[in-house]
Amino acid sequence: MINNTLEKIQLLPHTFYIPISLNSINEFMDSNLEEIDPLPKILIVFGGSGIVSLNEKQHAVSRGSILLCDSFSVLEYQQKSCTTSPLQAILIGYRCITTDGSQPQTIESDQPFKQTAKIIRLAKEFENAWRYRSSRGPFYIQQMFIELLTEIHGELIENKQSISTWMDQVISYIDTHYEEDLSREEMATLVQVSPEHLSRAFRKSTGRTFSEYLSLIRIRESQKRLLYEMPKLDDLAQQVGYKEGTYLSRKFKQVVGLSPTSYHKKRKRVVTLNTNHTASLLALGITPELGVYSTWMERVNPVKTEQKLNIWKNSEALIYEKIAAVNPDLILDYKTTKENKSLLSLAPMVTLPFMEMSWREQFRLIADIVERQQQAEEWLRDYDRMVWNFNQKLDCQLGERGTAVVWEIGTNSAFCINSSHGRGSQIIYEDFGFSLPMKLLNHGIGNRGYIEVEIEAIKDYPADYVFITGMPINIEGIERMNRLFQSYSWMSMEAFKQNHVYLIDKSDIFFGYDPLSSHAQIHELMRLLTS
């Protein structure tokens, strides 16, 4: 009777997932135990960076990385003693079962992929529930695990959909080889499709024919060169892939509406897509046609609503519409992303590297673009004169500077910042002459620009002076920070005893890495150091 009833039940062909183990990466590697019943695993990285080997294939992982391993995978990780930031990760082992006897499906990916902030939060909650045996009922750990798997699965699907296609390969090749004699047939051979199929797919993907897109890239590149000099047209033509200047001039006028000479001479209408470049223009006496402003910048330099661009709240379509309405001659940003690729149809994108150029170098380059070199040099001379005067006062009051650390405390971790990443550190180290503690130098902060540690580990990096220029806004982060500040080890630091710990609750000012922000930051730092 029972058997007959069971035969009539429709068993679900789905796989169910049960969490079995949880270890930190170091706990797992230090155990040296051979698993009797190997489990599929999920590696979730909360912080730091390192190299993980999966089945003898190495993968670079850092904060936000997820690595999925089946039960037969061999996972290895060796901590390097000189690493910038030790890897902070958990490894969750789980078991897959089915009710109908079919083969269970593990969650798989042969490459690490990046997780969202929500996944990090869920993973932290799951770890806490697991380690501290949550009192929220017998199903809470399972519930948290399912929520975590749901987010990971969704991110995995999205990641697979965004994998580069052959069309991305073609566009990338054009973007980096535009000065060569490129043809549709050559590109079709490169990606192994027919020329006809490439033409149809290219137009569908970009909205332009192959030749139209190639011409646009060449004209935008010629516009960039004309920002700095006016070369002979034949020379300019050959630099961007055309054989002679007359043809370039004709194509240039079709796209830009001006001749190359007229474009070179005209006052440029500029759009900025980040606060630092907006501030650089303002320091030169130029208000961008459209720019991104921080709250602090808006207070100091009020502008009309129609001149402000909110890249965080506005959709891509609205951003495009706003920029198109001001008819810019160039667009300034830090990097060319897939999102702003569409803006090439409006104006050339001039991108400046962040880590490779100081704020002074960026300021001078922007001044070259808008022909305000003299104003930039005068501004910098005034700034350097102010720095010299401030240092005279510091010499009298502090004497030898000693060591200093600059921290920004985030939601789940703390970041120690070097001068290439701003937050006031460019002033502390470069203008005031404080030095980095040797421990930070040994951890490679000079190469990477920052190191990431747990909030509680800030005390492990002592210095003569401690500056905290950014603090958490979430409850958990604030509680962890307060516990640190009340701990015996924190109050035992020499910097704390000497009143050399400075909490600067002005993150909107200290986030900037530009002339105006540096000017405001140096006054605030001077006030703290001399009060």
Q: Determine the Cα–Cα distance for residues 104 and 95; give it in Å rounded to an integer.
A: 9
Identity of the amino acid at 306: E
CATH class of 166-265: mainly alpha
Dump the DSSP string for 506-531: -HHHHT--SHHHHHHHHHHHHHHHH-
Residue 2 has pLDDT above 50, yes or no: no
Q: Is 21 helix (H, G, I), strand (E, B) or coil?
A: strand
Q: Does domain 388-530 have CATH number 3.40.50.1000?
A: no
pLDDT in tens, 238-290: 999 999 999 999 999 999 999 999 999 999 999 999 999 999 999 999 999 99
* Ramachandran angles phi, psi of 22, nearest 5°: -145, 125
> What is the rounded average pLDDT of the residues 306-325?
88
pLDDT in tens, 176-235: 899 999 999 999 998 888 899 889 889 888 889 999 999 999 999 999 999 999 999 999
The pLDDT-based confidence of 110 (bands split at 50, 70, 90) is low
Q: What is the bridge-based pairing of β-strands 330-333 and 270-272?
A: parallel
* Ramachandran angles phi, psi of 378, nearest 5°: -65, -40
Q: Where are the domains of the chain?
A: 13-161, 166-265, 270-371, 388-530
The pLDDT-based confidence of 395 (bands split at 50, 70, 90) is very high
Q: Is the distance from CB of 493 to CB of 459 less than 8 angstroms?
A: yes
Nearby residues of 205 by Cβ (< 8 Å), 6 or more positions away: 167, 171
Dump the DSSP string for 113-166: EEPPHHHHHHHHHHHHHHHTT-SS-TTHHHHHHHHHHHHHHHHHHHHHHTS--H
Q: Is 240 exposed, middle or buried (0-12, 13-18, 19+ CB in 10 A)?
A: buried
Q: Is 454 exposed, middle or buried (0-12, 13-18, 19+ CB in 10 A)?
A: middle
Q: Is the distance from CB of 227 to CB of 330 less than 8 angstroms?
A: yes
The closest of 372, 354, 352, 213 to 284, measured between CA atoms, is 372
Output the pTM of the full model. 0.66
pLDDT in tens, 292-306: 999 899 998 899 999
Residue 342 has pLDDT above 50, yes or no: yes
Pull the structure tokens for residue 183: 């043809």
The closest of 416, 470, 476 to 121, measured between CA atoms, is 476
Domain 13-161 architecture:
Sandwich (2.60)
The pLDDT-based confidence of 83 (bands split at 50, 70, 90) is low
- In this prediction, residue 162 carries a pLDDT of 44
* Ramachandran angles phi, psi of 250, nearest 5°: -65, -45
Pull the structure tokens for residue 403: 């060591």
Tell me whether domains 270-371 and 388-530 share a fold.
Answer: yes
Q: Is the distance from CB of 257 to CB of 328 less than 8 angstroms?
A: no
Residue 451 has pLDDT above 80, yes or no: yes
Q: What angle do CA 155, 168, 351 make, to 5 degrees?
A: 90
- In this prediction, residue 117 carries a pLDDT of 77
> What is the rounded average pLDDT of the residues 468-476?
88
Q: Determine the Cα–Cα distance for residues 12 and 26; give it in Å rounded to an integer.
A: 38
CATH class of 270-371: alpha beta
